[in-house]
Structure 1
Amino acid sequence: MSSYGMTRARTVGAIAQAVTEAGGSLGRLFGRAGMPLTLLDTPDRLILLRDQLALVAAALREIGDPALPARLSMQTGIVGLGPIGAQVRSAETLGAALHRVEVVTPLLLQTATWTGQRRQGDDAFYGYGITERIERGRQANEVLALGYLLGTVRHFLGPAWRPERAVVTGATLAGRAEIEACLGCTVSFGPRAGLAFPARHLDAANPSRLDPTELSPAETKPIGEDLPACVCHLIELGLDEARPLIDAVARRLGLSRRTLQRRLEQAGTGFADLRRDVTRRRAEALLSTSTQSIGRIAIDLGYSDPAHFTRAFLEWTGATPSQWRRSVHAEADARSRR
């Protein structure tokens, strides 16, 4: 198992919108976090958990609103969590929903985290924790998570429900009064973030249950979290801005170039192989779905000229980009006439 947590980029759009509405700069926001603006168009893209934390921390710095994470998650609600929201809305009771969230969150939405409930007598604690060793933005991400936890419980108990208290890690919390006002309860400190409430609420029935058979395949597709899969996701991000290089990917993972090479070799692959596979998939997608010229696609994929891209694509597929595009379009036309 990889020690590098991955998460879907679902919160990126809401963060960007809040920063824009507050008069902040998106270029500065994403620049500080080292993230491409193209993430705004791809909410199901996988990114490093540490990069999401960095983006939340950059947003706080950009607009100076300590309660921003809680407001964002509360406004977005569990529907904004995609697969997890669907799992919650299809559960029969609150207790069943929290058990399901504990099982599926690291599989479908966010690895290197724990989300679930613990019961002690008459009390229940619905918690969230980051298992990867990350410090930058950790507490702000916990406040973001508290809003989603609150939205989950309110789906069963109503929009006016308030927990007995919220908990974050650490010893101090910037903007504590503003965050408490947003959550509607006091915030204390403990070993794990979460919400405390009476355990009897766990039996609350789902007032508007989603039919489990309506879950789409995208809502049940696991996140690949081994190192090669993680590197592939980072290469995907790199293709949004320039031809991704191994040194840049290694730095993002906090590894040396040689360490990354050695670990990929142990996994039976190499950086060049992964970059080729990712680039090929992106090239095929662009040729299939866009009307961009071959030259434009070559530049977008980081090639210095179309000839280099054509030679690489011919080696991958046995066809030139133009031949491949014509073949795909011809197959699509044939299917539409059937």
Structure 2
Amino acid sequence: MPAYGLTRARTMGPIADAVSAAGGSVSRVFGRAGIPLTLLDTPDQLILLRDQLTLVEAAIREIGDPALPARLSTRTGIVGLGPIGIQVQSAETLGAALGRVEIVTPLLLQTATRTGVRCRGAEAFYGYGVAERIESGRQANEILALGYLLGTVRHFLGAVWRPKRAVVTGAWLPARSDIEALFGCEVALGPRAGLVFPAALLDTVNPLPLHPVHEGGMKDAPIGDRLADCVAHVIGLDLDEGRPSIGRVALRLGLSRRTLQRRLEEAGTCYADIHRRIILRRACERLAEPTPSIGRIAADIGYGDAAHFTRAFLGWTGVTPSQWRRHHVLRS
């Protein structure tokens, strides 16, 4: 069964800022990508990796800048990588840091992706790849990732350090000269994306070690990448745009409706159960707020009127929405 990538929504803020600074329309970019603007307010929200790739492609088209991914990632710096940056800054050597990144990236930042170092003779290849079969936006995502990888290495070797070359996949590379200027090296086309540099540099000692026990540590919870988790995340996102359907969720995952049903059955669940769980969770979150009416909550989670929502909620919990609110909110 293929992997379905999830990532944090925190990259969307810089993308929106870049579009706005270039005179583009942020709402149009998010609309073309089919992503709610509300994600800008929840940077730790989990989203589909393929949605991030779609957003980057939409931003590139909006402002006409194929080098945008390189501009974004080279500006981020090690601090902007969140818990991954903490792992890098607290490692003793560059080689140890890259080993930590390989372990924690799919757990904390982005599933269905792999990083790692291979050494051949005197050369090291610090690679990046996506396990999920996504074609649209793949090269742009690789360029974005290589900028982050470059920032990781530069923490040890200095801000002006340059690799021997960078490699991306694909038949051709738009704005190659601009990307090369941003990375400070030649960018070649090859079977796998990555950075090439002398292997001896892996022994470089950390010049500015961080002690996370005293300075914050890691805060992000691990990301699951089971198909049921991905379906739940898509349903949750689609609730901001209207009541989600199994057909729309399947399309977002690159599957047919029947294939999605079959794979959920193989995993011991079904779409209806996941949908009901997400709807109930969202309803309870809204009912915990004292202001919105039952009718407003019903509309927000896709029900045509309060009566239909009340009957459904009663069937799920054994109490009406009003009774639930009185018990859980007014008594707290």
Once the two structures are TM-superposed, the CA of residue 273 in structure 1 deviates from its matched residue by 0.6
Pairwise CA RMSD: 1.9
Q: Distance in 1 between matches of 2:289 and 2:122?
A: 56
Q: Distance in 2 between matches of 1:171 and 1:290?
A: 56
CA 1:290–1:247 in 2, change beyond 3 Å: closer, same or farther? farther
Matched, 1:138 2:159: no
Q: Distance in 1 between matches of 2:156 and 2:320?
A: 56
Matched, 1:37 2:66: no
Equivalent in the alignment of 1:198 = 198
Paired amino acid for 1:130: V
CA 1:122–1:331 in 2, change beyond 3 Å: closer, same or farther? farther
Matched, 1:59 2:59: yes
Deviation sequence 1:81-106 (CA, Å, 0-9, x none)? 33322222222221111001111212
CA contact (8 A) 1:2 1:227 kept: no
CA contact (8 A) 2:290 2:329 kept: no
Q: Secondary structure at the match of 2:291?
A: coil
CA 1:198–1:229 in 2, change beyond 3 Å: closer, same or farther? same
Equivalent in the alignment of 1:90 = 90
Deviation sequence 1:20-42 (CA, Å, 0-9, x none)? 11111122211222222222122
CA contact (8 A) 2:94 2:204 kept: yes
Q: Distance in 1 between matches of 2:290 and 2:100?
A: 39
Q: Distance in 1 between matches of 2:44 and 2:79?
A: 14
Paired amino acid for 1:113: T
TM score, norm. by length of structure 2? 0.93
CA 1:141–1:211 in 2, change beyond 3 Å: closer, same or farther? same
Paired amino acid for 1:46: L
CA 1:69–1:300 in 2, change beyond 3 Å: closer, same or farther? same
Once the two structures are TM-superposed, the CA of residue 296 in structure 1 deviates from its matched residue by 1.7
Q: Secondary structure at the match of 1:3?
A: coil
CA contact (8 A) 1:3 1:132 kept: yes
Once the two structures are TM-superposed, the CA of residue 234 in structure 1 deviates from its matched residue by 0.7
Q: Distance in 1 between matches of 2:120 and 2:102?
A: 17
Matched, 1:15 2:20: no
Equivalent in the alignment of 1:112 = 112
Aligned-pair identity (%): 69
Q: Distance in 2 between matches of 1:63 and 1:245?
A: 32
Listed as ranges, the gaps of 5+ residues in structure 1 are 333-338
Once the two structures are TM-superposed, the CA of residue 131 in structure 1 deviates from its matched residue by 2.2
Once the two structures are TM-superposed, the CA of residue 302 in structure 1 deviates from its matched residue by 0.9
Aligned runs of 1:122-271 on 2, under 5 Å? Answer: 122-213=122-213, 214-216=216-218, 218-219=219-220, 221-271=221-271
Equivalent in the alignment of 2:277 = 277
Once the two structures are TM-superposed, the CA of residue 289 in structure 1 deviates from its matched residue by 4.7
Paired amino acid for 1:232: A
Once the two structures are TM-superposed, the CA of residue 201 in structure 1 deviates from its matched residue by 2.1
Matched, 1:327 2:317: no
Q: Distance in 1 between matches of 2:19 and 2:290?
A: 31
Deviating more after overlay: 310-319 vs 189-198: 310-319
Count of aligned positions = 330
CA contact (8 A) 2:117 2:127 kept: yes
Q: Distance in 2 between matches of 1:195 and 1:170?
A: 16
Once the two structures are TM-superposed, the CA of residue 325 in structure 1 deviates from its matched residue by 2.9
Listed as ranges, the gaps of 5+ residues in structure 2 are none
Deviation sequence 1:152-194 (CA, Å, 0-9, x none)? 1112222222222111112321100111111111111221111
CA contact (8 A) 1:287 1:321 kept: yes
CA 1:87–1:316 in 2, change beyond 3 Å: closer, same or farther? farther
Once the two structures are TM-superposed, the CA of residue 236 in structure 1 deviates from its matched residue by 0.7
CA 1:143–1:280 in 2, change beyond 3 Å: closer, same or farther? same
Once the two structures are TM-superposed, the CA of residue 313 in structure 1 deviates from its matched residue by 2.2
Deviating more after overlay: 283-292 vs 256-265: 283-292
Once the two structures are TM-superposed, the CA of residue 318 in structure 1 deviates from its matched residue by 3.0
